[in-house]
Structure 1
């Protein structure tokens, strides 16, 4: 992969012209690019017929946080390198929060020559009217925001909305569902909306939050904090985040192993009768039942030995 740190060629996107030139940053940037390419490929985020001549259009959602800035930068670089035949349209939804710095993202887009939309919808008033004070706003706020983004994507002829959720977001959602929802579910890297006309994509699904934080800081993105509600620190998700961070600190690489587990399920070794036919499971003649048998699996200790590998990626 060619270095772009000091490239002043007018063909280089403005966002990439002054990236840090240190060896560590180059490795970090390339790691994020590789992980995004793998996620896009693994989950078929691009249609088979996509090409430079026949490009789908993606609505890339920007909140002003580190994750969405990093997502946009990664997608722009992949597109510039000819590795992502997609038209990108950046979009920020201004939800009319008091004190929201409405000038930050438009200036960022314009300075970097990024095609964009700014949509202003007063969801703040709706949320604060419907939800009692000191209660969590996130659920209603998220539903309202998603509905608006779906509408904008349709109006702009986009095939997908693209979000900046990363590995830790996916793991946190898994444990939220496990602890509080009584189900094994998380954020999939790719899903289709209820209406069946739009995809929701998460190309940073393999990326570690720590890598994104380092990348964002080194790129000096103008971060806009989320301060809609004053109860954020007490959210159940924050508790799960602290739990995961504690596990990672105690055993570096554990989050990578856990994320790998989400892609290696064995329905015959769980308890969901809707996805595995336990009722009709019977011994087979001869060699036994290979499908539901006790296939040898690596023990937890051997899996933990891969921790350093995952942590270093």
Structure 2
């Protein structure tokens, strides 16, 4: 695919390339399942990984994977058609998640949390079924810092996301190559290249995850005074000083006799 804004494409690709090198995200012989939801982030991730693959000194394969959760109106056909036109290998998995959520969700609880757990389980299973040792997710820099703040403000943990981690099944390695890419770079890139963005069609789409939206608003306000605040928070995740934290287990490890 020829991209409209080649400068922005190169900027995003370079950022992903740095992440791959810094965290050892891709190795020779990897077969990577790329979760493609139909959103701007996952389309961008897939295209960037393909661009890197063509010039990479190591050989790896990509398989796009889409989960249809059964929400009425979800246009999985649009995603499949686009990926087919672009020449990507693609697997569509249809599930009954919507029915399960309606049956199991407690009144007043979040759609997003139970939906995410169900999708995650299916993605791990599909990665193994398709012979993929890695699963690439489209979380970007903003997702990392927002998750850090959410956990601090509402959960009481000092935790965000990992650019690379072994999944709960003990088999699949989850990678997040967009860790250095800000959402503000992805939005115009996706729009200019006319990615066929598809809404998940969740019944609470647009109204869910109010706490995350509050974090976005907070970061926007902070950026007015410090334009580099998000990157500073990201750097903090890689510059941990256990000696100055309150975790008692870490304190024991840092204690000097």
Provide the TM-score with structure 2 as the length reference.
Answer: 0.93
How many angstroms apart in 2 are the aligned matches of 1:101 and 1:69?
A: 15
2:22 corresponds to 1:19: no
Give ranges in structure 2 of 5+ residues lacking alignment.
Answer: none
2:24 corresponds to 1:36: no
2:253 corresponds to 1:253: no
Aligned equivalent of 1:272, options 241, 247, 254: 247
Give ranges in structure 1 of 5+ residues lacking alignment.
Answer: 1-15, 283-313
1:69-111: per-residue Cα shift (whole Å, max 9, x none)? 0000100100112355210000111111111113111110111
What's the CA shift for 1:26?
A: 2.5
- The match for 2:162 is 188
2:86 corresponds to 1:112: yes
Q: Is the 8 A contact 1:135 1:231 kept in 2?
A: no
Aligned equivalent of 1:243, options 218, 221, 236: 218
What's the CA shift for 1:281?
A: 3.2
What's the CA shift for 1:278?
A: 7.1
Aligned equivalent of 2:121, options 147, 150, 154: 147
> What is the root-mean-square deviation of aligned Cα atoms in Å?
1.8
- The match for 1:297 is none
How many angstroms apart in 2 are the aligned matches of 1:60 and 1:118?
A: 12
Per residue, is there more helix in 1 or in 2? 2
Q: Is the 8 A contact 2:19 2:179 kept in 1?
A: yes
Provide the TM-score with structure 1 as the length reference.
Answer: 0.77
How many angstroms apart in 2 are the aligned matches of 1:88 and 1:273?
A: 43
1:188-239: per-residue Cα shift (whole Å, max 9, x none)? 1011012311100000011001001111111110001234132753521121
